[in-house]
A and B are shown apart, each in its own frame.
Chain A
Amino acid sequence: MGYKRYIVKRLIYIIPLFLGISILNFSLMHSAGDPIRLMTLGNPSPNIGEVRENLRIYYGLDQPIYVQYGIWLWRFLQLDLGTSFYSGRTVNTIIGMYAWETIKLQMVALILALAIGIPIGIYSARKQYSKLDITITSSAIMGISIPIFYMGIIFILIFSFYLGWFPSFGAHSLQELRYPFGSYFLDELWHLVLPTVAIAWVSMALYIRLVRSSMLEILRQDYILAARASGLSERTIIFKHALRNATIPLITYIGISIGLLLSGAPMTETVFTWPGLGYLYVNSVTQLDFPVIMGINMIITLIILGVNLITDLLYGIIDPRIRYE
């Protein structure tokens, strides 16, 4: 079949795409500012010019930009993302530390949003214009309209500041003493509640609307009426005939959002001081920590390209009309 050839072809396409994106990122980053000046800001030393020159040579920033890019690319191909200007640790180590927290947070939130959003969307479509449907759709519009950073702050204010039920920042308690029942796992869950609910709240609203509208569209189709006319049960009709058709737009959207979510949703992580990629990203950008910025950029790029490929392959599994050439 054309399946394997299609995958190989897509993987080859990734190479020029990746090069283009990395060149664009590299040059944009270099025009953002001078990290050496930022590092030595306010330094009263009389021979500051010389210090800066030495630092530039030390970090390799004295070379022309295309040479710097070449060196970066050569190392990247050897899976070496360089060393942070500030912490002195390798970028691989840093990203490894932060990425897990992002994956954990975003995946839990995604699963939560889907597990609640899909059934509600189906219900809403089946009972179109009922009182509950109108309540659901209007709250969903509110959910979409409220930006996550605002929602997050409100959550912290209510559940952390006033009620004191959940911690307001971080992924772990700082002291082991504060672990609920002394369990590390429960401590993780405890910290996960507020940020995941805030993220899920907003994305769930999108999934409800998406599922509702595609289900409405599908339930109007002749083949659903034909399935009813054949005496199939309501369950088979909804969950087999209708829902499987509705998964196609759903997968498209999940694919897009996974790419964005794994980049760490910088705003959410900043609001909750969540030690993930988004938080790291914001910090690295403000410090102009070039190797870390490039590292995160490239990880995000690869994830998005990979998820795109997987989504396209999933279409073919669900819809037999899609063929790969």
Chain B
Amino acid sequence: MPRTILKIENLKTYFNTWAGVVQAVDGVSLEVKKGETLGLVGESGSGKTVTSLSVLRIVPRPGKIIDGRIMFKDEDLLRKTEKEMQKIRGAQIALIFQDPSTSLNPIFSIESQLIEVIQQHQKLNKEEAKEKAEILLDIVGIPDAKLRIKDFPHQFSGGMKQRVAIARALSCEPSLLFADEPTTNLDVTIQAQILDLMRDLKSKFDMSMVLITHNMGIVAEMADRVTVMYAGRVCETSSVNDIFLHATHPYTVALMRAIPQIGTEKQKLQVIPGNIPNLINPPSGCRFHPRCKYAKSICKMKVPELEKVEKGHLTACLRWDEIKKTLLKERERAA
């Protein structure tokens, strides 16, 4: 059985704003096993990014981690000092951002940005660090790495910039990589290349990966397991197969139905009615109940805990048992 590399328990990250306290992440628990890719899925504003920033403890102000435990290799990151965290960031846990055109500092050369990170964590002199940076650029598929390392970010295309950002994230061979929608801002052909690259590198560097996305296609292709988030909480966690075939949480089900099907008969795109709630004043009980077509009065009152559906499949719905039966019937009728 694979060991767990990251275990988040009941994480709460709140933002104190003028308008009120935004409960961006409110009791998130999830697990990443060694060597696997976990897909972290949810709408914009569901707390995926804040969760990953919380793990590195770099949530921007006014955000604050209120409660919870973040066990990385059996040590609680929330108990570490800032100095200790600096040694973990970039060295053991790395992060790739969504928009490569803003995640590299525009006024420093690629060379200096890579060398800086390498020297921060490894005892190498400038020459050795430069050599390593060139090798990294070569690995991530930048042609003429030796020449292009002198260039500045604006001299690279979007896809190339993301490759540079990946090189920086991998420069110290981290054991855990958070990739926050790494392909969202790239065009489709480049997306596939970057995903391929990440898959290759993941096995090459023997990493675990958390892939944050709202693209179910990417999840199907890349992830081993999936955790679905909604409004700052986890709805469902399971293997990729179960998510696509046996989802039990109404939100996950709705999310699956909202994927347009190519090749089937013409039909209206199914959408989830309503919007993600305001997290300053979230709905009581289950946060999804105002948009859930299976909601009953109990859903307004009781906060659902993650319950075990079967081995490796958890769901946070009070009525998952009934809903599972209903879904089965619906499926039979459709067939």
In the assembled complex, how far is the CB of residue B269 from the closest CB belonging to chain A, in whole angstroms? 32
Known: A231-B120, A231-B121. A226 touches B97 (CB 8 A): yes
Is B157 an interface residue, CB under 8 A from the partner?
no
B105 touches A228 (CB 8 A): no
Stretch of A24-32, A185-193, A216-224 that contacts chain B: A216-224
Q: Is the CB of B56 within 8 A of A320?
A: no
A236 proximity list for chain B (CB < 8 A) = 116
Across the interface, which residues of A come within 8 angstroms of B99, CB to CB? Answer: 222
A226 lies within 8 A of B87 (CB): no
B152 (CB) vs chain A CBs: closest residue: A320
Decide yes or no whether A17 CB sits under 8 A from chain B.
Answer: no
A220→B60 contact, CB < 8 A:
yes
Within the assembled complex, what's the spacing in Å between the Cα atoms of A233 and B90?
Answer: 12
Q: Does B91 contact A (CB under 8 A)?
A: yes
Contact mask A286-325 → B, CB, 8 Å, 1/0? 0000000000000000000000000000000011110000
Contact in complex: B107, A230 (CB < 8 Å): no
Residue of A226, A232, A233 near B104 (CB, 8 A) is A226
Cross-chain contact of B152 among A232, A233, A321 (Cβ < 8 A): A321
B89 at the interface (CB under 8 A from A): yes
Name the residue on B nearest A322 (C-beta): B107
Decide if B90 touches A230 in the complex (CB within 8 Å): yes
A229 at the interface (CB under 8 A from B): yes
Tell me, in angstroms, the Cα distance from A320 to B107 when the chains sit together. 6
B106 with A230: CB separation less than 8 A: no
CB-CB contacts of A200-236 with B at 8 A, as 1s and 0s?
Answer: 0000000000000000000011110111111111001
Would you call A231 and B97 a contact (CB within 8 A)?
no
Query: Which B residues touch A232, using CB under 8 A?
Result: 86, 90, 116-117, 120
Query: Is there an interface contact between B107 and A229, defined as CB atoms closer than 8 Å?
Result: no
**Known A229-B58, A229-B95, A232-B116; contact A319-B86, beta-carbon cutoff 8 A:** no
**Chain A 149-172 interface mask (CB, 8 Å, partner B; 1/0):** 000000000000000000000000
With the chains together, A227 CA to B106 CA distance in Å? 13
Residues of A within 8 A of B104 (CB): 223, 226
Report the Cα distance A320→B102, complex, angstroms.
15
Query: Which residues of chain A have C-beta atoms less than 8 A from B89's C-beta?
Result: 228-231
CB within 8 Å of B: which A232-254 residues: 232-233, 236, 241, 244-245
Q: Measured between alpha carbons, how far is A243 from B103 in the docked complex, in Å?
A: 17
Interface string of A276-294 (1 = CB under 8 A from B): 0000000000000000000
Q: A226-B104, A231-B87 are in contact. Are A320 and B154 (CB under 8 A)?
A: yes
Asked if B120 and A321 make an inter-chain contact with CB atoms under 8 angstroms apart, the answer reads no
- CB of B106 within 8 A of CB of A231, answer no
Q: How far is the CA of A28 from the CA of B106 in the complex (A)?
A: 47
Q: Is A183 an interface residue (CB 8 A)?
A: no
Contact of A230 among B53, B108, B168 (CB under 8 A): B168
Complex Cα gap A228–B85 (Å): 10
Q: Is A139 an interface residue (CB 8 A)?
A: no
Pick from B58, B121, B169: contact of A225, CB under 8 Å: B58
B94 contacts chain A at the CB level, 8 A cutoff: yes
Q: Considering only CB atoms, which chain B residue lies closest to A232 in the complex?
A: B120
Taking a contact as CB atoms under 8 Å apart, the answer to whether B106 and A223 are in contact is yes
Q: Which of A128, A223, A229, A318 contacts B105 (CB 8 A)?
A: A223
Contacts of A321 in B (CB 8 A): 106-107, 152, 154
Q: A226's contact among B60, B61, B165, by CB below 8 Å, is which?
A: B165
12 extra interchain contacts, Cβ-Cβ under 8 A, other than A231-B120, A231-B121?
Answer: A220-B60, A222-B97, A225-B53, A226-B97, A230-B94, A231-B85, A231-B86, A231-B87, A231-B89, A245-B107, A319-B106, A320-B106
Query: B: which residues have CB within 8 A of A?
Result: 53, 56, 58, 60-61, 85-91, 94-95, 97, 99, 102-109, 116-117, 120-121, 152, 154, 165, 168-169
- Partner-B contacts on A (CB < 8 A): 128, 220-223, 225-233, 236, 241, 244-245, 318-321
